[in-house]
Structure formats: structure tokens, C-alpha cells
Amino acid sequence: EVQLVESGGGLVQPGGSLRLSCATSGFTFGNYDMSWVRQAPGKGPEWVSAINSGGGSTYYADSVKGRFTISRDNAKNTLYLQMNSLKPEDTAVYSCAKDREATPVHEYDYWGQGTQVTVSS
């Protein structure tokens, strides 16, 4: 079955950095676009970033553009999110998500359990 397992979250001071990983299995990872989505306490999910199946095209929410970098290693079936210059507003549970179709539809059929990122002094 499809499995998505995030790791790398933690507590960091404003201005700090974290690198999140999403280890995947149960599907042909290299055929699918992937995204990172976050959910802050008391708020709905917010799309953060996406990457196409081959890794050559990336997309970012305005709130993280210039600070976050999405990447993937298809040989390792792993998705990454490098987060720099972190702000308290970035505090959220970060989940990776698989596009529902190999031809991307920007709808996601599988989500990981998420990893907590807390940015605080």
C-alpha cells in the first residue's frame, strides 16, 4: 500500500533552518508530482510547495517563496523540503502528499501523518 512518512521536524528559533524528508513506498514515486502541505493550529491546510515528477519544475506559495526549496530523489523515493529563514508563522504540521494521477490534477489521494515544525524564541 501507499505509505508516506515525514521526518525532520522540530523546535527551531526564528531565522533557523530545518530539512524535512518524506520517505515513500507502495507506488512508482518517479511518476507522480508531489506536494508539501501544512496546517497550523486552529487553521485549515495550506499548500506550501509542489514539484513535478522529474524534479525539473517547482512551485511555491508566496508565503515561503525565496525561503523554502522543494526537491526529490527519485532513486531513493524521497521528497525533501529545505526550510531557511524560518518565521513563527511557519509553525505547523507539515505533510507530504501524492498527486492522484500521473498526469497531475492537483488533487491528492495520499497524505503522510505529518511532522511538527515549531518556530519560537
Whole-angstrom CA distances from 90 to 8, 29, 59 are 15, 27, 17
Find cell 514539484 and name the residue: 51
Dump pLDDT digits (tens) for 33-81: 999 999 998 999 999 999 999 999 999 999 999 999 999 999 999 999 9
Percentage of the chain lying above the pLDDT 90 cut: 92
Model pLDDT, residue 40: 96
Dump pLDDT digits (tens) for 69-87: 999 999 999 999 999 999 9
Model pLDDT, residue 84: 98
Angle in degrees, CA 40, 43, 49, rounded to 5: 60
Name the grid cell of 114.
505529518
Dump pLDDT digits (tens) for 8-36: 999 999 999 999 999 999 999 999 999 99
